[in-house]
Amino acid sequence: MFGDLMGMMGKLKETQQKVAATKKRLDTVLVDEQSNDGLVKITLTANRTVKSIAIDDSLLEDKEQLEDYLIVTLNKAIEKAAAINEAELAAVAKEGMPNIPGMDGLFQQ
């Protein structure tokens, strides 16, 4: 039993390193999103850092519309990035964790 525990701790350390490596890699994974009509285009990393925002000139004429477009498109982009982020990290964490039923939920945020 003690041997199992030591092995489990070693595996946890290995998993931590894999999680760190995955987080770093997600900085290079880009997620594109745009409004339905393409007037706002946004690129995020899978770690939810905004890399670019492109606004069509026509939106500059109506500030409220522009603000609404930005909110909707950003939220779509952030959700998309979060889904990729969570799936990638959950896969790595799950692989390295002892198989305790119901533990998966702890890694989704």
Smallest gap from Cβ 50 to its own copies, in A, equals: 5
46 touches its own copies (CB under 8 A): no
DSSP 25-57: HHTT-EEEEE-TTSSEEEEEETT--EEEEEE-G
Q: Please give the residues from 47 up to 106 whose contact with its own copies meets the rule CB under 8 A.
A: 48-55, 57, 60, 63, 66-67, 70-71, 74-75, 78, 82, 85-86, 89, 93, 100-103, 105-106
Q: Are 84 and 49 spatial neighbours (Cβ–Cβ below 8 Å)?
A: no
Q: How far is CA 89 from CA 13, 39, 41, in A?
A: 15, 32, 26
Q: Which is nearer to its own copies, 37 or 67 (CB)?
A: 67
Smallest gap from Cβ 78 to its own copies, in A, equals: 6
Query: Alpha-carbon distance 19 to 5, whole Å?
Result: 21
**Out of 12, 21, 87, 91, the residue judged to bind its own copies by CB under 8 A:** 12
